């Protein structure tokens, strides 16, 4: 299936197994309330995640794809190191991947393009899934032989690290595709992700995330301006939106950096707009402009990007906490 290259797929796998191998761990995680405040991971959507057939009754097989944004991550790290205009704020690197647009829109189009080709060639029906659907997508990728769970719960691929988005096609037919051998856990005794997390959000025993303490949860998933942060929440490293810390230190991502065989990124206008607004001018100016933006102005400026989801209030919440904690350090 070399034609997948035209859809920017860096790896793919196939499985016919509908039930997640880690479903018991997931259920225990929710039972212990470690998912809070992400309530959409419980209840009806938790029930659907128990079996792919609960989400789509026609399921017979799945093709799982990895879409890498490692080149954008690498370029963003270079900016932090070398650009004298950098103001100390950091963005999750997926926000600069996929041409700087919301990856859900970009990858939906790619998945539908792949699905339509398979439909015309094999006479099948398909249903695409991304991380907005009630599917344990990392477990699905694991069943398809695409990697293993790191101690930070991220899916790690030996060739592409963990800076990728998983997208899948659920199919109503089985295909004549060889399944990959399940990948061995290659984390060994390494604890770099656990040690690096500034909020102790990684449970080293269960290798799961304590969601309320996770910087990504606070900065992306909690939208209210008056959200009370976890007592462990720490944004002093500059993490304004999302967090790459546990992935930055991973040897498997460092290995991809060293190989450096990916195409160099040249920022487009959308990506430059994001960088110019958030990281290449004084933080006080970022805060002031967010404050004075109307709701309509915010929507027009960020409508194509991943920041649209959090909204003006969510971003203001983040930058205010950053400034408060920074000022406390400096005082």
Q: How far apart are CA 186 and CA 58, in angstroms?
A: 35
Q: How far apart are CA 65 and CA 10, in angstroms?
A: 8
* Residue 131 is a catalytic residue: yes
How far is the CA of 66 from the CAs of 7, 44, 184, in angstroms?
11, 27, 18
What is the SS3 assignment for 61?
A: strand
What contacts 314, CB < 8 A, 6 or more positions away? 219, 220, 222, 223, 224, 225
Q: Would residue 123 be called left, alpha or beta, if left means φ above 0 and alpha means ψ between -120 and 50 degrees? A: left
Given 8, 47, 102, 131, which residue is catalytic? 131
In eight-state DSSP terms, residue 280 is S
Q: Are the C-beta atoms of 68 and 10 separated by less than 8 Å?
A: yes
Token readout for 219 is: 């900065």
Sign of CA dihedral 188, 193, 196, 197: negative
Q: So which residues are the catalytic ones?
A: 131
């Amino acid at each position: 299936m070399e034609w997948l290259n035209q859809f920017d797929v860096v790896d793919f796998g196939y499985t016919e197994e509908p039930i997640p191998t880690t479903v018991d761990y997931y259920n225990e995680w929710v039972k212990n309330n470690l998912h809070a405040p992400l309530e959409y991971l419980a209840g009806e959507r938790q029930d659907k995640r128990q079996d792919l057939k609960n989400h789509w009754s026609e399921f017979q097989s799945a093709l799982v794809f990895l879409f890498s944004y490692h080149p954008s991550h690498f370029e963003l790290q270079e900016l932090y190191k070398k650009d004298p205009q950098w103001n100390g704020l950091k963005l999750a690197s997926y926000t600069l991947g996929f041409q700087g647009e919301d990856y859900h829109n970009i990858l939906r189009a790619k998945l539908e393009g792949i699905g339509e080709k398979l439909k015309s060639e094999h006479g099948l029906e398909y249903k695409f899934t991304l991380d907005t659907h009630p599917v344990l997508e990392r477990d699905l990728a694991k069943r398809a032989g695409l990697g293993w769970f790191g101690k930070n719960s991220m899916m790690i691929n030996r060739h592409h690290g963990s800076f990728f988005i998983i997208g899948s096609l659920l199919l109503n037919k089985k295909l004549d595709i060889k399944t990959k051998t399940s990948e061995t856990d290659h984390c060994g005794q390494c604890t770099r992700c656990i040690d690096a997390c500034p909020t102790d959000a990684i449970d080293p025993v269960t290798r799961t995330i304590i969601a309320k303490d996770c910087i990504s949860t606070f900065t992306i998933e909690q939208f209210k301006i008056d959200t009370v942060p976890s007592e462990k929440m720490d944004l002093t490293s500059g993490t304004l939106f999302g967090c790459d810390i546990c992935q930055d230190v991973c040897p498997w991502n460092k290995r991809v950096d060293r190989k450096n065989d990916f195409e160099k990124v040249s920022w487009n206008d959308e990506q430059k707009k994001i960088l110019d607004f958030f990281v290449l001018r004084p933080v006080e100016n970022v805060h002031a402009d967010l404050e004075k933006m109307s709701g309509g102005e915010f929507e027009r400026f960020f409508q194509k990007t991943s920041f649209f989801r959090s909204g003006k209030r969510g971003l203001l919440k983040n930058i205010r906490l950053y400034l408060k904690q920074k000022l406390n350090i400096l005082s």
